[in-house]
Structure 1
Amino acid sequence: MYRFFSGGVAAVLVVSGLLVPGSAEAAEQQFTPKRELVVACKNNVRDSALIARTLQRSAEGDEIVFDGTCLVSQTIPLLENRQYRGRSRTGTVIQQADGANLDAIFASDSYLDNSPTTGLSTALRSMTIKANSENNPDAHDAVVLRSWQTVLEDVQISDSARHGVRLTNLSANGTPLENTQVNGRLAQLQINRSGGNGIFVEDTGNSVTDWQLQDSYIASTGDAGIRMQNAAGWMIRGNHIYGVEGGPALWAERLYGSSITDNYIEDFVGTGILGTVQGGSATTITNNRIFQDDGEAGTFLHVAGNYGDAKVAVTGNTIRGEGAGIGLDYQKGNADSLEVASTGNLVTEVTTQRQVGEGVTVTEGMLASLTG
């Protein structure tokens, strides 16, 4: 059932759906498109109504295809068990209309419905989203995800007033999730000129874990390039982050069995990679390239413990500055101890190559012998 309401600064189309917590039945669902519903946009004020009518007649398993340039003045809900896609990044453009000031251009249905449980699987692919912050100064995010097993890929996002992508455990009115929101993927994104973070993983509880963030370009952000309040179980790989103006390039908290690998980072403020490590399952930070080409100081790679006996492998990273800053910085933080296997890192043209705090043990790692 659909309902329109006005609240805050813009009208939002909200869809109420029956949401199932992370059950075995939901986990076994496979998405296979049943119908292709094409939205032929005209780049005018009637496009939002056209999109709403198409969604009203859609059903689970359908694929909604956007064609042309869509001028939107209402949030587009990402309904459960549907796929949304464009023709290509150039063939489909979703642009926020002047003065719409939306909370989000796309948002998961569970976010809009203020559900205490995560939404079911959705996918959003192959388009450009122009958030048009210059003419929407009170807008927020381009894409808000609050659904598990969800995919966002091959999407270009530009000029968000706040975050380019926000993956959150909170709903529109701040209702937190009571279950988990796991097993999704963010990949092949180009995110430019976000006023806040390029990608923001918001988790005030312990719900948003075990996702993949891969092969994306994030540039010219007002805050961090990637900001993760919960990076437990995440695989963060192959991203290029540059031109960060207001914070760390990659800030990952609550690392637990996580990996940060093969990322290329340049020109950041304060810290290149900032990670805090939980006790328990160890984390790997490997084969990253972290450069500072604009003469700024700061710390290139900083690791701190959160609790318990935290363990992390930091290997094969390449760090190069312009004569200033700290290359590697290992601190115990709030943990009882921090053990770092630190080998094969190339650190050049910085003031301090490696800084080790009290309560930190740095080793070359151990190779367990196998018998029998």
Structure 2
Amino acid sequence: MVSPLGGLAAQVNVVCTNTPSDDEAINAASNASEVGDEIVIDGPCLINGTIRLVGQRTYRGQNASGTVIRQAAGANLAALLASDTWLSGATYTGNPITLRDLTLDGNAAANTGRATDGVVLMSWNSTVEGLTIQNMRGSGIRLTNTSSTGTTLTNTQVNGRITHNFITDSGQYGIYVQDSGNSCTDWDLMDNWIADSGRQGIRLENAAGWKVTGNHVYGVKEHAIYAARLFGTTIANNYIEDFGASTTAGTWYGINATVQGDAGSVISGNKVFNFAGESNASSRYVYLGISQVNYGTGFVTVEGNLIRGVGSASSTGLSYQKDGGASLSVVSTGNLVTGVTTPRAVGTGVTVTTGL
């Protein structure tokens, strides 16, 4: 429905019928909407096509329990919801989108042919808030610089917010920032619950300018939080219950970061535990680590983190390594580390101080 008020924003209501044509009804309403409109979806909804998110609109449910969008058996979609720019193969970021108060169910058991994502965003200044995302063979939320046709962004995709979502039983990552260039920077990732990811809880291939705070991650097979290319980044006050439950041997981190050489970053106030135990005797468990400087000299403050291991023979509390960069300078202070074999490991080319 278009607003009768001369172009002022309207509320567009879509009532699903719990049949596979529901995506067509939602897309038709979205396509007929105007800038600033709010598309309100009344579920339950069953879809066998991706819902196309048009920029400068809000999409919300009645509430997360009442509006459930479920992938039909055998649909094997790339994503349940996706930016219009991502679907069309654009090389520019889409206009802002707001998503609120929905449940997305990937129905993974009945869709074995594809790694379906819950939400794929290629839109800047967007908000994803209050969603429950479950049973995806792919990732819960994917922010990407690469379209569905393989084209990549030529501009930036900044200033978004992902907050207060519950993401569970993802086959790949709970939240995935896929960035082969330097587009997906300067977002807020705050106060989410991420459970039982098949690989990593939070994977940021570009963490420059991000604030990653207040998230609760548990039940993940590999790293709880992986954040590459720290550059003015804050990783703070996250709660990690366990990590590294994979039967495949590897080095698994509670928090794993790589660092750029041009700016400093802060890792503070995180609680990193492993209540589920370090289940693979062939694996190595690092609770909080900087594993690489990508170029130049990296600068990081690591302060006030609480690390509690389970007393195994293959665990490290804090690990500071420069790997390929010139050097790494770390202020490491006020951290409580217990229950690990090696409280702190410092590699060559790394300077550790307590600051001023």
Q: In the alignment, which residue of structure 2 is the partner of 1:82?
A: 57
Instruction: Output one character per residue of 1:269-301: Cα deviation in whole Å (capped at 9) or x when no partner.
Output: 111000001111100000000001233051000
Q: Following the alignment from structure 1 to structure 2, what is the Cα–Cα distance between the partners of residues 153 and 348? A: 35
- Does structure 2 retain, via aligned residues, the 8 Å contact 1:278–1:307? yes
Identity of aligned residues (%): 49
Q: In the alignment, which residue of structure 2 is the partner of 1:320?
A: 308
Q: Following the alignment from structure 2 to structure 1, what is the Cα–Cα distance between the partners of residues 78 and 34? A: 25
Q: In the alignment, which residue of structure 1 is the partner of 2:294?
A: 306
1:111 maps to 2:86:
yes
1:64 maps to 2:54:
no
Shift of 1:267: 1.3
Q: In the alignment, which residue of structure 2 is the partner of 1:340?
A: 330
Partner SS, residue 209 of structure 1: coil
Worse overlay, 301-310 or 166-175: 301-310
- Does structure 1 retain, via aligned residues, the 8 Å contact 2:47–2:69? yes
Q: Following the alignment from structure 1 to structure 2, what is the Cα–Cα distance between the partners of residues 124 and 300? A: 33
For 1:330, which of 320, 325, 329 is the aligned residue? 320
For 2:131, which of 148, 151, 155 is the aligned residue? 155
Q: In the alignment, which residue of structure 2 is the partner of 1:164?
A: 140
Letter in 1 for 2:194: I
Q: In the alignment, which residue of structure 1 is the partner of 2:23?
A: 48
Q: How does 1:177-188 map to 2 (within 5 A)?
A: 177-188=153-164
Cα RMSD after superposing both structures: 1.1
Q: How does 1:223-238 map to 2 (within 5 A)?
A: 223-238=199-214
User: What's the TM-score once normalised by structure 2's chain length?
Assistant: 0.92
Letter in 2 for 1:352: T
Q: Following the alignment from structure 1 to structure 2, what is the Cα–Cα distance between the partners of residues 53 and 332? A: 52
Q: Which runs of 4+ in 1 moved over 3 A?
A: none
Worse overlay, 72-81 or 41-50: 41-50
Q: Following the alignment from structure 1 to structure 2, what is the Cα–Cα distance between the partners of residues 263 and 272? A: 10
Shift of 1:52: 2.4
Shift of 1:186: 0.4
Number of aligned residues: 334
Shift of 1:229: 0.5
- Does structure 1 retain, via aligned residues, the 8 Å contact 2:174–2:201? yes
Partner SS, residue 88 of structure 1: coil
User: What's the TM-score once normalised by structure 1's chain length?
Assistant: 0.88
Instruction: Output one character per residue of 1:11-56: Cα deviation in whole Å (capped at 9) or x when no partner.
Output: xxxxxxxxxxxxxxxxxxxxx9700001111111231222122123
Letter in 1 for 2:319: D
Letter in 1 for 2:285: G
- Does structure 2 retain, via aligned residues, the 8 Å contact 1:33–1:63? no
Letter in 1 for 2:296: G
